[in-house]
Amino acid sequence: MMNKEIRLLEGERLDDLMINGYEIIQHPGRFCFGIDAVLLSDFAVVKKGEHVLDLGTGTGILPILLEAKNEGGIYTGLELQEESADMARRSVAYNGLEESIRIVTGDIKEAAGIFGAASFEVITVNPPYMIGQHGLKNENEALYVARHEVMCTLEDVLRESEKLLNWKGRFYMVHRPFRLPEIFMKMCAHKIEPKRIRFVHPYVDKEPNMVLIEGLRGGRPRLTVEPPLVVY
């Protein structure tokens, strides 16, 4: 049951998620979710009763969308920045989802220590895409942390995911195609076998600017490339 009482801080707004009547608290001056999170929520497979962890959940967009679209058990979002975690908790409460979604403040680099080994059947992550000086450095710290590997790296994400996933657990990530060689190499090094990918093109005549990836903990080598998705 939704709780229509809500506390919005200065600069915050409620955005309609266009599913189940859910809304989410966001702040335009911080990082707001984009189409990559929406596409990842469609790409990820969550089976009935499974426990799901979203690494770097931000304002909780992925757990909320995944709960709306699947019959999973408990959805957990891990977020380092307390301001974002607080917005996520208030959104969860506003939508009446406290029994199925929990938001934890913590560091991805310490995730296995926080939750324990083999705690989840599914992990999702929409990580920072940029390394070092790739892209422009944003003076807004929250935006910079969300877009650049300053607080956690791809290696951190995969190292912790290897520990957190149970055997044959599934890993879902959205990233940039230019980093695919590194992504595949590090996934395999951490025993998360790439099983399925789908390229996302902004327009039919443009090269892909995103790639959706599914990995299987302890899986055998075999990769399926799904038909491309054209946004516009």
* Interatomic CA distance for residues 30 and 50, integer angstroms: 31
pLDDT tens, residue by residue, 184-232: 999 999 999 999 999 999 999 999 999 999 999 999 999 999 999 999 9
The pLDDT score that the predictor gives to residue 137 is: 52
The model's pTM is 0.91
Residue 143 has pLDDT above 50, yes or no: no
In a domain, 1, yes or no: no
Of 63, 56, 125, 64, nearest in space to 95 by CA:
64
For residue 133, pLDDT beyond 80: no
Across the range 95-117, mean pLDDT stands at: 97
Q: Is residue 8 part of a domain?
A: no
Is 7 among the domain residues? Answer: no
State the CATH number of the domain containing residue 133. Answer: 3.40.50.150
CA angle 199, 202, 206 (to 5 degrees): 85
Structural domain contains residue 43: yes
User: 172 is in which domain, residue-wise?
Assistant: 13-230
